[in-house]
Amino acid sequence: MSPADPSPHPTSVTTDTDGAAHTSAQPDWAAPVAPGLLDATVVLPGSKSLTNRYLVLAALATERSRLRAPLRSRDTLLMADALRSLGVGIDDVVPEGEAVGGETVPDWVITPPERLTGGVGIDCGLAGTVMRFLPAVAALADGPVRLDGDPQARVRPMGPVIDALRTLGVHVDDDEGHLPVTVDGRGHVPGGAVTMDASASSQFISALLLAGARYDDGVTVHHDGKPVPSEPHILMTVETLRDAGAIVDDSEPNTWRVEPSEINALDVSVEPDLSNAGPFVAAALVAGGTVRVPGWPQHTTQAGDLLREILDTMGADVRLDRSGLTVTGSGELVGIDIDLHDAAELTPTVAALAALASTPSWIRGVAHIRGHETDRLAALTAELGGVGAHVVETADGLRISPAPLRGGRFRTYHDHRMATAGAIIGLRVPGVHVEDIDTTRKTLPDFVGLWQGMLDPSGSVVLAR
Ligand SMILES: O=C(O)C1=C[C@@H](OP(=O)(O)O)[C@@H](O)[C@H](O)C1
Ligand SMILES: C=C(OP(=O)(O)O)C(=O)O
């Protein structure tokens, strides 16, 4: 559904805890208004991007790996299920110690098969990491692998990664650069050098690099086109590969080389998802008071770390120390002029904050998010506009200026970050009703529980796991 298609009686694709999508008519969620100043500690689950990279690398490794505190949300459960169907063992193991607050978070122990199994189908849901990363992995399977996903996934761009795989010696059938895609796995991939235009998604490059060490000649990827978005995610790919012993040369701009090599087993703890922390730390700015996120890393490749600078610029007091991140706001916030090209997934959160700010904002550099879960520029323009915000969509972003906001229906277009943007607005604006709040399960298993816990006036430690 495009943002221009209002759906008065919505039918939502939501997700069971096992990662399966199902269709249901779900009532809109009345976004709670903040009861006063916040005083909450929110323990967020692991990073989607890290969990799915570790899963892929562990599936291609020589030995058994252990993934501690992985994210268990729709995108990562789909990745785990897909790898299982390729013959990878992925089992829950209760960790030795206790997690924060006495809750145990099962680890994943990942056992790679001798050879990846072909002749299988993979459900990618709406997960960019699954639909882009797995064709490059499936090429190593013994037999054909068919990948498909949600209806919205069939319009997300795939062409450059498919064409690149063909150049590297893989046979692929596709639907004009989109899902469904069938990769004819032949047990090995010649590999070599390829030039691609990755201006629509950094995930095209990450996909080839993650699998490339297992290609006969490794892989050299050269990008030729407008600047690659979300570059920290490519650095994340490079660092996770190096953690697994792969040899990666990223010394030349727009060129990445992965040598052919074995991939070592991993034993890693997943950092909290900083982009998912966005709406929670934004809440301190909107409602006033303090929100703490324990475990915020001192050094990270996660793009969400840019939130520290963003919140500071918009008026929060932001402190990072060994206990984590502490964000304190007064309830007053100012606009921001920012290029989010490197951290495009933060756009819905920043746009929601901008709609509540007392001065104008300009978000630039994010044309490619028209190919995210939905056309996010159109969706944000429509939905923030629908609750009274002054939003102008530009060629590569949004201009948002102060306006009195009002309640109303906030449509989400199957996009988890549209849903959390609606929740941010609802903190201050009574009567915001968010469509299909369960779409947040794409990357957070229990957004509503966490959000309500954060708003509990008794002050709280809110556990996500
Ligand atoms: O590789 C990854 O884990 C991601 C890369 C980025 O994609 P784009 O480069 O398409 O923005 C980001 O927006 C997405 O949420 C996750
Ligand atoms: C763009 C996003 O997801 P995906 O990994 O599906 O591209 C996102 O989470 O904001």
What's the first-to-final CA gap in the chain, in angstroms?
Answer: 32
Beta bridge partners of 268: 67
Residues 237 and 365 placed together within one structural domain of the fold: no
Q: Which ligand has an atom closest to residue 417 CA? A: 2
Give per-residue pLDDT as tens, 119-162.
999 999 999 999 999 999 999 999 999 999 999 999 999 999 99
Give per-residue pLDDT as tens, 205-259.
999 999 999 999 999 999 999 999 999 999 999 999 999 999 999 999 999 999 9
Residues 255 and 329 placed together within one structural domain of the fold: no
| Of 345, 373, 383, 435, catalytic | 345
Clarify whether 373 is annotated catalytic.
no
Spatial distance between the Cα atoms of 263 and 268, rounded to a whole number of angstroms: 14
The last residue of a domain, from among 248, 269, 290: 269
Determine the average pLDDT of the residues in 53-62. Answer: 98
CA 132 to centroid of ligand 1, rounded, Å: 10
Does residue 406 sit within a domain?
yes
Nearest Cα to Cα of residue 464 among 269, 276, 323, 281: 276
Q: Which ligand has an atom closest to residue 420 CA? A: 2
Residues making up the binding site for 3-phosphoshikimate:
48-49, 53, 201-203, 230, 345, 372
Does residue 439 sit within a domain?
yes
Does residue 7 sit within a domain?
no
Residues 159 and 308 placed together within one structural domain of the fold: no
- Indicate whether residue 345 lines ligand 1 (CB < 6 A): yes
Residues 224 and 264 placed together within one structural domain of the fold: yes
| Six token digits for residue 456 | 């509990």
Nearest Cα to Cα of residue 425 among 356, 363, 366: 356
pLDDT of 26 reads 84
Residues 435 and 418 placed together within one structural domain of the fold: yes
Residue 151, domain extent = 48-269
Give 425-453 as a DSSP string: HHHHSTTEEETTGGGGGGT-TTHHHHHHH
Q: How many CB atoms lie within 10 A of CB 320?
A: 15
Token pair 């939501």 in the structure block, residue: 14
Residues 332 and 240 placed together within one structural domain of the fold: no
pLDDT of 158 reads 98
> Which residue from 152, 372, 412, 440 has its CB within 8 A of the most atoms of ligand 2, so it is best to mutate?
372
pLDDT of 462 reads 62
Give per-residue pLDDT as tens, 408-433.
999 999 999 999 999 999 999 999 99
CA 182 to centroid of ligand 2, rounded, Å: 22
CA 97 to centroid of ligand 1, rounded, Å: 32
User: Hey, is 127 helix, strand or coil?
Assistant: coil
Q: Which atom of ligand 2 is nearest to the CA of 201?
A: 7
Does residue 445 sit within a domain?
yes
Spatial distance between the Cα atoms of 16 and 10, rounded to a whole number of angstroms: 18
- Indicate whether residue 237 lines ligand 2 (CB < 6 A): no
Residues 199 and 145 placed together within one structural domain of the fold: yes
Does residue 6 sit within a domain?
no
Q: Which atom of ligand 1 is nearest to the CA of 203?
A: 1
Nearest Cα to Cα of residue 231 among 211, 205, 259: 205
The last residue of a domain, from among 238, 269, 300: 269
The last residue of a domain, from among 244, 269, 294: 269
The domain that holds 256 is classified in CATH as 3.65.10.10
| 166-180, 363-377, 446-460: least confidently modelled range | 446-460
Give per-residue pLDDT as tens, 358-384.
999 999 999 999 999 999 999 999 999
Give per-residue pLDDT as tens, 248-304.
999 999 999 999 999 999 999 999 999 999 999 999 999 999 999 999 999 999 999
Q: Which ligand has an atom closest to residue 342 CA? A: 1
Residues 126 and 24 placed together within one structural domain of the fold: no
User: Is the full-model pTM beyond 0.90?
Assistant: yes
The one-letter code for the residue type at 53 is R
Nearest CA to ligand 1 atom 6: 230
Res. 3 pLDDT band, cuts 50 70 90: very low
Residues 188 and 251 placed together within one structural domain of the fold: yes
Nearest CA to ligand 1 atom 16: 49
pLDDT of 4 reads 36
Determine the average pLDDT of the residues in 94-111. Answer: 75
Q: Which long-range contacts (CB under 8 A, 24 or more apart) does 365-368 make?
A: 365/229, 365/339, 365/340, 365/341, 365/396, 365/397, 366/229, 366/340, 366/341, 366/396, 366/397, 367/395, 367/396, 367/397, 368/199, 368/200, 368/201, 368/229, 368/344
Res. 98 pLDDT band, cuts 50 70 90: low
Spatial distance between the Cα atoms of 129 and 127, rounded to a whole number of angstroms: 5
Whole-complex ipTM: 0.99
Number of domains in the chain: 2
Averaged confidence pLDDT in the chain:
93
Whether the predicted pLDDT of 117 surpasses 70: yes
Whether the predicted pLDDT of 15 surpasses 90: no
Nearest CA to ligand 2 atom 3: 128
Token pair 């530009």 in the structure block, residue: 394
CA 369 to centroid of ligand 2, rounded, Å: 9
Integer CA distances (angstroms), 447 to 45, 206, 276, in order:
11, 28, 10
Q: Which atom of ligand 1 is nearest to the CA of 49?
A: 3
Residues 78 and 41 placed together within one structural domain of the fold: no
Residues 263 and 287 placed together within one structural domain of the fold: no
- Indicate whether residue 276 lines ligand 1 (CB < 6 A): no
Res. 105 pLDDT band, cuts 50 70 90: confident
Residues making up the binding site:
48-49, 53, 128, 156, 201-203, 230, 345, 372, 376, 417, 442
pLDDT of 327 reads 98
Q: Which atom of ligand 2 is nearest to the CA of 49?
A: 5
Residues 341 and 426 placed together within one structural domain of the fold: yes
pLDDT of 463 reads 57
- Indicate whether residue 201 lines ligand 1 (CB < 6 A): yes
Q: Which atom of ligand 2 is nearest to the CA of 131?
A: 6
